[in-house]
Chain A
Amino acid sequence: MGSFELAGVSKSFRTGPPALTDISFRYEGAGAVGYLGPNGAGKTTTLKLLVGLLRPSAGHAYVNGVDPMVDRKQALWDVGALIETPEPYPTLNVLEALDAVGRARGLNRDDIDREVDRCHALLDLPPLGQRVGWLSKGQLQRVALASALMGNPSVLLLDEPTSGLDPAERVLVRRTLNQLKRDHLVFMSSHQMFEVSEVCDQLVFLDHGRVLLRDRVDRVAGRIRSREVDVEFDRRVDPAAMSGVRAVAADLSALSERRWRISFDGSDATRVRLLAACQSVAPVVQFANTSLLLEEAYLELIPRPAEDS
């Protein structure tokens, strides 16, 4: 099973504040680790350090126990990486681009063909004879992801893997990642909270180059008490009929004739009373938090720019 580790890693560039400050964490085995943080938090920098595209200013990065700065070939031997927007040579076709990766990773001809078929089935790749230069952004991203999977490496380092994909492609990639994490170690940065909550088991929150929180996804979500729910009735409801709900809620607003948004103190007791009050008005079709718990956790941990100042 694969592993990756950052041991006291800091990274500074010539200008600007440090991109990363004394980052330390290690994961090994199988599963998916989400890497969350605002733009400029240092997520891509971290991934680049792990594959040796950047050199740490202090500390060491290890993949499968090997520092890529010491032995790049050995460190990356069992690693598939998708950083930023990888672009194979535009003159080559999809098959040639994947073939290059397979050869670099020590696959024989038969295994390359099988791996290309597997990636084709998993990611619905564009026609293999199509030139890379003619691919759409989404197609290119899927080819890049396929290149990370070629040779079945045990560690996958993915920088916003669904960036540039349409909804159907996102579903496809999420499904693929959910399969992969059963026996691979996936480390993925993302801005898509739904994607992270769907795929990841562990989370690392990063801001201004520092780790704010590391924990299991369910624990992080468990810390958050949503203070807002949307309720949908099976029929039109007059505002006057909502007086019983209003008595329990902190605030109430109509989203449509059947849908209402209710703010409350976030406690389970109030939530139970609210649901009962709603059900006494009319049959309830849906009663759900307005946003993902993970998203609320993110917003709670990482101040928005206006609050930041």
Chain B
Amino acid sequence: MLPVDPNKKLSFTRSICDGDLVIVYERHDNMKALKVCKDSVLQNRFGVFKHSDWIGKPFGTKVFSNKGGFIYLLAPTPELWTLVLSHRTQILYIADISLVIMYLEIVPGCLVLESGTGSGSLTTSLARAIAPTGHVYTFDFHEQRAASAREDFEKTGLSSLVTVGVRDIQGQGFPDELSGFADSVFLDLPQPWLAIPSAGKTLKPDGVLCSFSPCIEQVQRACDTLRSNFTDIRIFEVLLRTYEVREGKRDCGQADGGNLGSLPRKRRQRSSEGNSAHDNLSYPSVMARPCSEAKGHTGYLTFARLKCLS
């Protein structure tokens, strides 16, 4: 997924090979990840696709089934992975992930701790941010979940950047051998306040901690604990409002310069100089409006910085 090997970088000359991970794009809300295997086929409502037809084609290409249906084959990215991964837990999405990486000040070479691993959605983006020289240590107390995460990181080619441990961070804290090494710590735990003292020990002075909690009561308690040896405590909620854009016909019959201002925003407007000329005409227009449905809440992001005491 990541160009850890510079030769695997996306390019006009790089083509899909046997064994590559590809994202099969049917529609924006229908994608899946697949390993290309020359003897394999993909079967869906558009027909049967032979993997062997894909080999040698560039990423981003449109491929056809036996029935003439088509899909696109995309190079995997952490964003696409977040949309196709198998949900073993509730996962973090792009808005929270992006703010977490930025606010935790994660750059290549950083050592980052995470608990729990969950489905590995954030972990994949953490790995991208610390590559090629840093490392992510991620912990989950659920053995099977940790094993599935490990398999996923193997599949996405991130295993050299990520170590998955089975450990109850709320109960046992982070391993002692990591003490004082972490640049950043991310907690997604039901009782984050139990893990905060240990997170404080593993962080470098001025290192940043983030705790993700869906409920304000969790935030309240986490903040009470944080105040003893953390500073710069900031709590955010971040959401995305998306827009739908479509082409439609707009009746311009009554349109004149005077009422243009009252038309819906962002709507493409076309009129001609002579108003009388376009009476009762309709024009194809680009119409945009915010999507009616959106996520109203994901979680609160609590950030804090370890005090410099030496």
A and B associate: no
| B residues neighboring A (CB under 8 Å) | none
